[in-house]
Amino acid sequence: MQPPPAPRTPAPRPDGPRPDGPRAEGTGPGRAPAGDPAIETRGLTKAYRGGRLAVDGLDLVVPRGSVFGFLGPNGCGKTTTIRMLMGLIGATAGSARVLGAPMPSAGRRVLPRVGALIEGPALYGFLSGRDNLRRFDAADPAADPATRGERVGRALERVGLAAAAGKKARAYSLGMKQRLGLAAALLRPRDLLVLDEPTNGLDPQGMREIRTLVRELAADGTTVFLSSHLLDEIEQICTHAAVMTRGRLLTQGTVAELTATVLDAGPGRLTVTTPDPADAIRVLTAHGLTALRADGDRVTGELPPPHPPREAGGGGAAPELADLNAALVRAGVRVRGFGTERACLEDIFVQLTGEGFDVAG
C-alpha cells in the first residue's frame, strides 16, 4: 500500500501563485501537468548536529525539458540537496516536489520515473558489468524479465561499455565505473535524470561522450539535473543553471540570462595574444585598461567604462577596440590575436561571491 501524500499548503512560485484546487493529472499515475517544474523546492533546509546548515532555505525551480546545471564548489550542499530530493535523507525544514509530487511521501510513484547517479555507483566488484546491470534491472518490479537482455545491452552500448561488458567491475577504472552507473540509470526511459558529478574520473574523450549523451537525452524529452563543480563542462551543455555556495542559493535562471547579467555589469575584458606582453601591458595601461595581467603570450585586462562625450561634461569616450589595436601596432607590439572575452559561469560565481570557484564550501 502506498503511503498517502502529505498535506501541502500552496506556496507562491517565482512566476505567480499556484491555482487553488487539485492538480490535473497527466497520462499516467502520479504524472503532473507538462508545465509543472520537474523539480521544485521551497525553503528546503538540512541542519546537522550542532546546528550546522548544509542546505539553507533553498528555493529551486527546474523547468521540464531543461538541462539544468546545479553548480557550486565541493562541499557547498549540492549532494545533500540531491539526497533530499531522492528521499535518501530527510529535510529539517521546507518541502520538495519531484515530477509534480511531494517527496519523500510520493517516492514509490515518482522514483521509477527517475534515473539517478549519486556519489558514484555502488557496484558488485565480483560481477561483470553486464551482470551488474542485470541485477539492477531485476530489482525493478516493473521491468519485464523477458526483455532484460535487450535493455542491458542497449544501456551498455549507449555509454560505450559494450566491449567491456564481460569484464569484472572491480577491474574497471573510475571512469568506467561512472559509465556503468550511468548505464544503470538508463535501463528504462526516464522523465528525469539526476547526475551528481557524472564526469568524475573521465578522460576528455569520455567527457565529450557524456556531453553528447546528455544532449541526446534532452532531445528525447528527458529533464537532466546535473550537479558539478566543473563550470566549463556544464556551460557547454546546460540550458539553465543555479549557483550555490555554503548551502545557499545565489542565483538561478537560463545560462543566457546569467551570462547577460555579467555582461551588463561592465564593459568586459580584452584579450591580446602577443609575444610582447610587457609592451602590450604598458600601451593598454596608457589607454585606461585596468587589472591587466599576462599569462605567457596572453594578456587580459578590464576595458574602461564608457563616459559621456567631452562636450557633455564627461571625460571623453572610452577607446574603441580598433583604436586599441592600432595603438598596439604603432608601439611595435606584435599582435597575433585580439578580441573580447564573453562572460562565463565562472565570471558569475566570482561576481556573486567575490571568491574563486575552488573555495571550500
What does the pLDDT read at residue 351?
63
Burial of 276 (0-12, 13-18, 19+ CB in 10 A): buried
What does the pLDDT read at residue 342?
60
Q: Which three cell numbers stand for residue 237?
A: 551543455
Separation in Å, CA 36 to CA 18, 31, 99, 100: 10, 10, 7, 6
List of domains in the chain: 39-262 (3.40.50.300), 269-342 (3.30.70)
What does the pLDDT read at residue 360?
36
What does the pLDDT read at residue 120?
75
- pTM surpassing 0.95? no
What does the pLDDT read at residue 155?
94
What does the pLDDT read at residue 268?
65
What does the pLDDT read at residue 346?
62
Q: What residues of the chain score a pLDDT lower than 50?
A: 1-33, 263, 308-316, 357-361
Q: Which three cell numbers stand for residue 350?
A: 566570482
